[in-house]
Amino acid sequence: MALVEGLRPKQWTKNAFVFAALVFTNNIPFSVGDARRWHMLGLTLAAFVLFCVVSGAVYLLNDVADREQDRVHPQKRHRPVPSGRLPVGIAIAWATLLGVGGTAAAFALNLPFGLVTAGYLALQLSYTFALKHEVLIDVFSIAAGFVLRAVAGALAIGVPISVWLLICTLQLALFLGFGKRRHELVALAHEAKNHRRILQHYTVPLLDHMMAIVLSALVVCYAIYTIMSPTAIQHPLLVITLVNVLYGVFRYLYLVQVEHKGGSPENILMEDRPMQINLIAWIAEVLVAFKV
């Protein structure tokens, strides 16, 4: 049970970004009876599972590397490795097995997808042991992980990678990353730098400014995508999803700055009912726009 908890299943929701290419591509057959449609769905599901395996390995190694700092964190100290419920040796062994096995399986799916998966694993390991100690680079590294998930989803099914998809993914991930750093500063207060050294280089006002800049860019880019992009021209109803995106980012901003949440975006998605309803509505509107 401690091992499963250490793999952080709740955070696997981040891997849903591999579905972005499947949802927003114009190359998927519209007919429900078309076998190609279900084949592409199957490939995307396989990509999602493999990213869950690889990311689980990364989470185990991250907990091993940060176990001393995590012991001063009010929530992270209860994780299996910092709390001592999962021995370090066992965590490393399972991380190696899952990381190598998941990457090998990714190459078996197809070569481009395997290369991106290997790149994702290398990025996450670099973040765990080096990049997270560099100001701004730490958040950009987190964002790059989300972008690689979206790219991997496109390569898994062999469709063109949308520039709009990558830009919006990057900006959303930066927004979430800066929000996470803000939450850590507020929640840990004077203990912040003891938990994560990089936090001494950030301030709440600075993070608020960066979140505002990224949020503005995200809204503008998504608006242009839903109104003027080639995809929007073919699917004009896509513009109605802009309302849900606006509400979603504003709701998240409220939760971060007023409710002082944001440390775990996946927990917000799991626990905040308005966000859940908004996400379901957004998915439904996208399906209607694409006539799925």
The per-residue pLDDT for range 145-186, each reduced to its tens digit, is 999 999 999 999 988 888 888 999 999 999 999 999 998 888
Count CB atoms within 10 A of the CB of residue 85.
Answer: 14
Place 281 in a pLDDT band, splitting at 50, 70 and 90.
Answer: very high
Is it the case that residue 5 has pLDDT exceeding 90?
no
Determine the pLDDT at residue 209. 95
Q: Which of 112, 132, 161 is the last residue of a domain?
A: 161
CA-nearest of 11, 12, 13, 20 to 167 is: 20
In total, how many domains does the chain have? 2
Determine the pLDDT at residue 34. 66
Provide the mean pLDDT of the chain. Answer: 88
Q: Which of 109, 134, 161 is the last residue of a domain?
A: 161
Residues 278 and 246 sit within 8 Å (Cβ to Cβ): no
148 and 286 share one domain:
no
Model's pTM, two decimal places? 0.89
**Taking residues 18-39, what's their average pLDDT?**
71
Determine the pLDDT at residue 270. 85
Q: Higher model confidence: residue 63 or residue 192?
A: 63
User: Which alpha helices (DSSP H) does 131-272 contain, by range?
Assistant: 137-157, 163-188, 192-195, 204-228, 230-234, 241-257, 265-271
Q: Which of 161, 194, 215 is the last residue of a domain?
A: 161
67 and 196 share one domain:
no
Percentage of residues of the chain with pLDDT beyond 90? 54
Determine the pLDDT at residue 289. 87
Residues 33 and 62 sit within 8 Å (Cβ to Cβ): no
CA-nearest of 266, 239, 242, 232 to 252 is: 266
157 and 16 share one domain:
yes
H or E element, residue 261: none
186 and 233 share one domain:
yes
